[in-house]
A and B are shown apart, each in its own frame.
Chain A
Amino acid sequence: MQKNSHHIESLVDHLFRHESGKMVAVLSRILGLQNLEAAQDIVQDTLITALHSWKKGKVPENPAGWLHRAAKNKAIDFLRRERTFRKIAPDYAYIMDSDFALSSAFHKVFLEDEISDSQLHMMFACCHPEIPIESQVALTLRTLGGLSISEISHAFLTSEDTISKRIYRAKEKLRAMDISMDVPQGDALPERLDAVLKSIYLLFREGYHSSHPDQLIREDLCQEAMRLCFLLSEHRLTSKPRAHALMALMCFQASRLQTRLDDMGHIVLIRYQDRTKWFKPLIEKVFITWRDLPNHLRFQPTTWKHLSRLCMPLHPLTMQPTGQKSMNSTKCFTLLTQIRL
């Protein structure tokens, strides 16, 4: 019995959801984005198998590894069955010729490093500039976040129909444009990275400002946005100041999540929030990251003058700063200095 409960604890929160996002990204790398649907079916099937065999209390030592193995095998079976009439990702077309190449290719993409690469590739594909922004967010949540259509529609307070249409159209676009799964390099990177970051920020904002009574989904959106941004900020190709900046912004905001609502569920303004309850580890994380960043990735030292200028109210017509110090600028200033302490 003791062994039993130990195993239950080893099933971390959202394991299924996170792993399903990972596995869809990994499988799509080989199957190609035109087979996204098939990748999702294989993953769903894998989770059902896991649920069937684990639910009587016998969870394997390494649940994620178990899932990966099962998904890998199902994908190999799938390709063997469909080998004659399936077009897969061009880079991997060679694996269709031999069984050995087939299994070793899947083995390779399921290595830890490759998994985060695949997720990154998937992020860039989902946030392709050709896809409308609201579809980008939905597609990202579906493929990378492992959320179901109904969970996404709950989070965005819209109908399941709307969300499935958005996702369907986005997938069609991916297929029609023959978008490949890779991280853009060189000149193309900044613009494409901005698109990804924008989509992630929208995701976070949706979670942060949503007035939806279902708290769980709300915080989940924030967490998912932070998880994806963290992947970007850690990866050698995308560890750019703008990725770290977004990460920092979300850490600061998320540290206050617990104090933003009172017992009645009303919003608590920042000056009335109990600052002792702000989640310190997130705040500290930002400063630790800042300290450890290599020089060329670091932010410019904060120029308070510039900052307070940014916080000044804009003239409604000219959209230029009015020159008056606003509540906001003072608040912003005190806030930033206090956080530092």
Chain B
Amino acid sequence: MEKFMLIFHGGQYNDLSPEEMQGKMGQWFAWIEKLNKTQQYLSGEPLLPGGKDVKGPNGKTVTDGPYTEGNEVVGGYFLITAKDYDEAVTISKDYPDYDMGGYVQVRQVMKMDE
């Protein structure tokens, strides 16, 4: 089994009604439950909007950010196990926010030699 990180970009909820928002939440719960059942869900966190960009020599330049396009902002991630990229991609098809303009970036976690 390999480890994969699913990175969630974008996904705006602004125009949803309260009922639709709760429905959306139910879809996320269901997805996590499904991954839990097959014991493929390792961890995941949502990220608050806003943040700081630290760059430049010695990290001197600190700016508020990220001010990228709304649909580029990382909103959270999952760490999962999967056989290979194919399976990780299949799992990502259950991501609930495609209709909200969001997308998933699938990245394999590098294994370090012992």
Q: Which residues of A contact B (CB under 8 A)?
A: 1, 4-5, 8, 11, 14-17, 19-20, 44, 47-48, 51-57, 146-148, 150-151
Contact = CB atoms under 8 A, between A and B. Distances in A.
Contact of A15 (B22, B36, B46): B22
Contact of B21 (A4, A8, A48, A56): A48
B46 A151 contact: no
Given A1-B36, A8-B29, A48-B13, A56 B18 contact: no
A55 B21 CA distance: 10
A47 B25 CA distance: 11
Given A55-B28, A148-B19, A5 B14 contact: no
Nearest to B27: A55
B92 to A, nearest CB: 15
A150 B17 contact: yes
B32 interface: yes
Nearest to B44: A56
A17 B14 contact: no
Q: Give the secondary structure class of A's interface.
A: helix
B94 to A, nearest CB: 13
B33 A4 contact: yes
Contacts of A150: 17
Contact of A55 (B36, B46, B49): B46
Interface string B13-42: 110111111101100110011001000000
Contact of A11 (B18, B24, B25, B32): B25
A248 B24 CA distance: 35
B102 to A, nearest CB: 12
B17 A54 contact: no
B1 interface: no
A53 B19 CA distance: 17
Contacts of A20: 18
